[in-house]
Amino acid sequence: MRKLLKQTEFYLALVILLLSILITMYNPRFLSAENIFDLLKSFSVMGIMAVGVLFVLILGGTPDVSFTAIAQVAEYVVVIMTLRWGGNILLAFLTASLIGGVLGRLNGCLVNMFRVPTIIITIATSNIFFGLLYVFSQGQVIYVIHPLFRRFSEIRIGNLVSQHGVYFGLSLMPLIWLVVLILGWFVLNYTRMGRDIYAIGGSELAAERVGIPVRRTKLFVFTFVGVLAGIAAVVHAAIVQSAIPNSLVGQELDVIAAVFLGGASVFGGAGTILGTFLGILLLAVVNNGLTLLGVSSYWYNIFVGAVIVISITISAVQRIRQKKTRVKVQVDSEGWRV
Amino acid sequence: MRRRSSNATLYLVLIIVLAIMAVLNPTRFLRVRNFYSMAYQLPFLAFLAMGQMVPIVGGGINLAIVATANFTGIITAMLLRALSGGSPLEASTLVILVSMLGGVLAALLAGALSGFLIGYLRIPDILATLGTMILLNGVNIVLTKGYTLTGFPDALIAIGNGVFLGIPIPFWLFLAIAVVFRMIMERSVFGYQLYMIGSSYTASRFAGINTRSVIMGSYLLSSLFAAITAFVMMGQLNSVKANYAESYLLVSVLACFLGGVDPLGGDGRVSGLVLAVMILQVISTGVNLMRMDPFFILAMWGFIVLVIIAANHLSGRFRLQRPLRGLGQDSGLADG
Q: What is the pLDDT of residues B171-220, one digit of tens each?
A: 899 999 999 999 898 889 898 899 989 888 888 888 888 888 999 999 99
Most confident of A10-14, B160-164, B326-330: A10-14
**B329 pLDDT higher than 60:** no
Q: Mean pLDDT throughout B259-273?
A: 85
CB contact under 8 A, B135 and A299: no
DSSP A242: S
Higher pLDDT, residue B155 or B139:
B139
Q: What pLDDT score was predicted for residue B324? A: 41
Inter-chain CB proximity A127 and B306 less than 8 Å: no
A333 is a domain residue: no
Residue A330 falls within a domain, yes or no?
Answer: no
Task: Determine, yes or no, domain membership for A266.
Answer: yes
Residue A308 domain-assigned (yes or no): yes
- Once rounded to an integer, what is the mean pLDDT over residues B260-276? 86
As a whole number, the mean pLDDT across chain A is 85
Query: Which of the four pLDDT bands, split at 50, 70 and 90, describes residue B27?
Result: confident
pLDDT of residue B114: 93
Contact check, Cβ <8 Å, A305/B332: no
Residues 6+ apart with CB under 8 A from B141: A298, A301, B242, B243
Among A230-234, B60-64, B299-303, the range with the most confident prediction by mean pLDDT is: A230-234
Q: How confident is the model at residue B26 (pLDDT cuts 50, 70, 90)?
A: confident
B167 Cβ under 8 Å from any chain A Cβ: no
- Which residue of chain B comes nearest to A108, CA vs CA? B336
In a domain, B65, yes or no: yes
Confidence of residue A331 (pLDDT cuts 50, 70, 90): low
Judge whether A130 is closer than 8 Å to chain B, CB to CB: yes
pLDDT recorded at residue A2: 54
As for how many domains chain A has, the answer is 1
Does B257 fall in a domain? yes
- The mean pLDDT of B60-88, rounded to a whole number, is 87
- CATH number of domain containing B19: 1.10.3470
Cβ–Cβ contact A182 with B under 8 A = no
What is the reported pLDDT for B328? 40
Does residue B190 lie in a domain region? yes
Q: In this complex, is the C-beta atom of B290 within 8 Å of any C-beta atom belonging to chain A?
A: no
Three-class DSSP category at B311: helix
Q: Do the domain assignments include residue A337? A: no
| Nearest chain B residue to A302, by CA | B138
Domain range for A143: 2-324
When pLDDT is cut at 50, 70 and 90, the band that residue A137 belongs to is confident
Domain harbouring A69, CATH code: 1.10.3470
Taking an 8 Å cut-off on Cβ atoms, the answer to whether B134 and A313 are in contact is no
pLDDT mean across residues, chain B: 83
Q: Higher-confidence residue: A1 or B8?
A: B8
Distances (CA, A) of A303 to A44, A256, A264: 20, 16, 20
Predicted TM-score of the model (pTM): 0.84
Side chain identity, residue B186:
E
**CB proximity under 8 Å: B 185-244 to A:** none
Least confident piece of the model among A29-33, B69-73, B107-111: A29-33
Least trusted range by pLDDT, from A51-65, A300-314, B37-51: A300-314
B116 touches chain A (CB under 8 A): no
Q: Give the range of the structural domain holding residue B64, as residue numbers without chain letter.
A: 8-319
Closest Cα to residue A233, out of A317, A294, A145? A145
Which of these, A283, A233, A230, A218, lies nearest to A256 by C-alpha position? A283
Cα separation, B9 vs A113, whole angstroms: 20
B298 touches chain A (CB under 8 A): yes
Asked, for residue B67, whether it belongs to a domain, the answer is yes
- A329 inside domain: no
Subunit contact A313:B121, Cβ cutoff 8 A? yes
Q: For residue B327, is it within any domain?
A: no
Q: Confidence band (pLDDT; 50, 70, 90) for B50?
A: very high
Q: What is the predicted pLDDT for the residue at B53? A: 93
CB-based contacts of A214: which residues, under 8 Å, 6+ apart? A200, A204, A207, A208
Query: What is the four-CA torsion angle of B298, B299, B300, B306, rounded to 10 degrees?
Result: 110
Residue B323 touches partner A, C-beta closer than 8 Å? no
- Is residue A225 one of the residues assigned to a domain? yes
Of residues A61, A267, A312, nearest to B117 (C-beta): A312
Is residue A332 in a domain?
A: no
